[in-house]
Amino acid sequence: MKNSVLKGALGALAVAGIAMIAKKAIERKRFVKGIFEEYGIKEKSPFGLADKIREMNDEQYQELKGKFKKEFASKCRHRRFEKENIAEA
């Protein structure tokens, strides 16, 4: 009896984990799709994005770079990054 309850609980936990991962993947895909639409990139591939980046000036590139950094940054806090943030303030 204990094994079946344990297996059921672990199964439910696994399903919840997979759902969270799928949700994050969908959010990131939506973000990238929005970037392609915002900058008018017709070719939906890394090559289309690279071509658009080559055409950008430095200001536009830094803006795009900031958007990607903000979206794909790690949410965990490392001591190294906390010290950098304190030094900037």
What is the residue-averaged pLDDT of the chain?
Answer: 82
Rounded Cα gap, residues 12 and 74, in angstroms: 26
* CA-derived radius of gyration, the chain: 20
Kindly tell me if the per-residue pLDDT of 89 is higher than 80.
Answer: no
Say whether pTM exceeds 0.85.
no
Kindly tell me if the per-residue pLDDT of 86 is higher than 80.
Answer: no
Q: What value does the mean pLDDT take over residues 51-79?
A: 82
Kindly tell me if the per-residue pLDDT of 82 is higher than 80.
Answer: no
Q: What value does the mean pLDDT take over residues 15-23?
A: 92
Question: Between residues 44 and 83, which one has the greater pLDDT?
Answer: 44
